[in-house]
Chains A and B, each alone.
Chain A
Amino acid sequence: MGLEDIYTELVSEHSRNPEHRHALPGATCSLKGHNPSCGDEITLQLKVKDGVVEDAAFTGVGCAISQASTDMMVDLIRGKRTEEARALAQKFIGMIKGEITDEAELEDLDEALSLQGVSHMPARVKCAVLAWHTLDEALKEQGK
């Protein structure tokens, strides 16, 4: 496993300039995620209306992998229905755990697919999945 498989151009670009790292005015829900092993901390904010994630953003600090992963996730879920967003979260987590490897099946993860290399790095798995677990939790709450 080479470094370039983990710190891909996309990952470093998103980590240096996370487009969605800002507070979200009018958010309907806000949930914190924390990865104690690395110290990654994010607060994910969502604006959900009529079952659709109309907007999303995050604040926080952490490693390049956690920050890039969060930024890519926000890109991906904006405008998606909540069930769809949760399904994507499950799929991403499955990919990082190495349970889903089929390229075609993973295609709709879009840029987040570039994090697949992390599935070979047990020490960094938690960094990659932090945002997606947080999203899943947040939407579970919304669904109640």
Chain B
Amino acid sequence: MADAQEFLKDFPLLHTEMNGRPIAYLDNGATTQKPEQVIKAICGYYGGCNANPHRGAYALSVEATEIYENARKRTAAFIGAKRPEEIIFTKNATEALNLIAYSYGLTNLKQGDEIVITIAEHHSNLVPWQHVAHATGAALKYIYLEQDGNLSDEDIETKITERTKLVACTQVSNVLGLKNDVKKIAAKAHSVGAVCVVDGSQSVAHQKVDVRDIDAGHKMLSPMGIGVLYGKYDLLDAMPPFLMGGDMIEYVEEQQTTFAELPAKFEAGTQNVGGAAGLTAAIDYLTGIGFDRIEAIEKDLVDYALPQLRELPFIELYGCDTKRDNKTGIIAFNVKDVHPHDVATILDSTGVAVRAGHHCAQPLHKYLGLNASCRASFYLYNTREDVDRWIAALKKVREVLGYGA
């Protein structure tokens, strides 16, 4: 597709070689590559404006503060938040989810309450809730899946009850690549008076998201080490601070402290301004292209790959038979008799990068009866040629391990 080729030129790493071969980078679910524009923004920040924001009354620090706060405004607009103060920068999605678990969860939940999450969650949106359940005595309940990998509608209806105080759900499963109807789940949660936490790690970079909750920047072209928590102002305002220290205070006395207003209350210590500069550049880049085109590129690649994969008798696919129109650019698979890590090593030898393992979703794999899986995940710079190379390499896998085709 012409579009993808057009974007490829912006990504320097994709023009380098790995083990002497050009890279077919198919692990965008883990992190995306960074365009020149983002790399320049980060270098520009460190090369020209680096100072500690919010602290010094000198020009450089003021400039750093501006860059940082501008990133907040741009992020708010990007995801449709009403006010910039509803955007809290974190180090990643994991920290954002922990912030909610520690600050909201530990304070507001108690014995007799219930937390409802889905079996398809990433450990980052699962382990913190286990912790809250253990610490508060609340019960942790799971929404399981239909045959086709989608969340069970029946479970959504029956598990979220008057006892439910918090519902946490990913917008797109990082293994099965299926979009969840988070609007419906949030509506159900709100109808029983529960708060709803949405993990946007796998969605924000790929589709237009109108906020409910969370995102990690490095999966949307921006540098690692910057993530975003969106929360409704009143909810965030009522929550106690998570990390304490510099920058998040108002007055500190020997025995007492009063805390700063939002968003500073949740941003303790020196923040990642370089990351914020990169995030702004990433938002500019994505906005310039538009999600219609990004979704079209990913859909083209999935539609191109799936029929070819189905032709291969030794390939097992997961989450690829959805009855709804909700497949994203993530394809989970296994090669018969071959462990995913061996598949990844063999693909790697031809320059094709896929993920292998449990993808931080062990409960999901157990539920699906799998030990592990492989995952290819596309983004806007991937091409049909990448898919061709992936499939050609797959055809070699069983042979390397001495199995007949």
Total number of residue pairs linking A and B with CB closer than 8 Å: 54
CB distance from B179 to the nearest CB of A (A): 27
State which of B341, B371, B400 has its C-beta within 8 Å of the C-beta of A124. B341
* Cβ of B358 under 8 Å from chain A: yes
* Cβ of A100 under 8 Å from chain B: no
Is B371 a contact of A39 with CB atoms below 8 Å?
yes
What residues of chain A lie closer than 8 Å to B339, measured between beta carbons?
38, 61-64, 67
For chain B, residues 343 to 372, give those with C-beta under 8 angstroms from any C-beta of chain A.
345-346, 349, 356-358, 371-372
Smallest CB-CB separation from B339: which chain A residue? A63
Smallest CB-CB separation from B346: which chain A residue? A3
User: Using a Cβ–Cβ cut-off of 8 Å, how many residues does chain A contribute to the interface with B?
Assistant: 24
* Cβ of B338 under 8 Å from chain A: yes
Smallest CB-CB separation from B349: which chain A residue? A3
* Cβ of B403 under 8 Å from chain A: yes
CB distance from B156 to the nearest CB of A (A): 30
Smallest CB-CB separation from B362: which chain A residue? A39
Is A12 a contact of B401 with CB atoms below 8 Å?
yes
Is A7 a contact of B401 with CB atoms below 8 Å?
yes
Residue-wise interface mask of A (38-65) relative to B, using a CB-CB cutoff of 8 A (1 in contact, 0 not): 1111000000000000000000011111
Smallest CB-CB separation from B337: which chain A residue? A16
State which of A3, A16, A41, A127 has its C-beta within 8 Å of the C-beta of B341. A127
* Cβ of B313 under 8 Å from chain A: no
Chain B: interface residue count, which band?
10 to 19
* Cβ of B307 under 8 Å from chain A: no
Q: Which of A3, A6, A61, A121 has the most CB of B within 10 A?
A: A3
* Cβ of A134 under 8 Å from chain B: no
What residues of chain B lie closer than 8 Å to A6, measured between beta carbons?
345
Q: How far is the CA of A82 from the CA of B187 in the complex (A)?
A: 63
Q: How far is the CA of A61 from the CA of B349 in the complex (A)?
A: 24
Is B401 a contact of A16 with CB atoms below 8 Å?
yes
State which of A15, A40, A67, A124 has its C-beta within 8 Å of the C-beta of B345. A124
| Known contacts A2-B349, A37-B357; is-contact A61 B401 (Cβ 8 Å) | no
Is B358 a contact of A39 with CB atoms below 8 Å?
yes
* Cβ of B3 under 8 Å from chain A: no
* Cβ of A13 under 8 Å from chain B: yes
For chain B, residues 378 to 405, give those with C-beta under 8 angstroms from any C-beta of chain A.
400-403
Is B349 a contact of A13 with CB atoms below 8 Å?
no
Q: How far is the CA of A127 from the CA of B341 in the complex (A)?
A: 10
Smallest CB-CB separation from A11: which chain B residue? B401
* Cβ of A9 under 8 Å from chain B: yes
Given A3-B349, A65-B341, 9 further pairs, Cβ under 8 A: A3-B345, A7-B346, A7-B401, A12-B401, A16-B403, A38-B372, A63-B340, A124-B345, A127-B341
Q: A-B pairs with the 10 shortest C-beta distances?
A: A63-B339, A12-B402, A63-B341, A39-B372, A38-B341, A12-B401, A64-B342, A3-B349, A63-B342, A61-B371
Chain B residues with CB under 8 Å of chain A are 337-342, 345-346, 349, 356-358, 371-372, 400-403
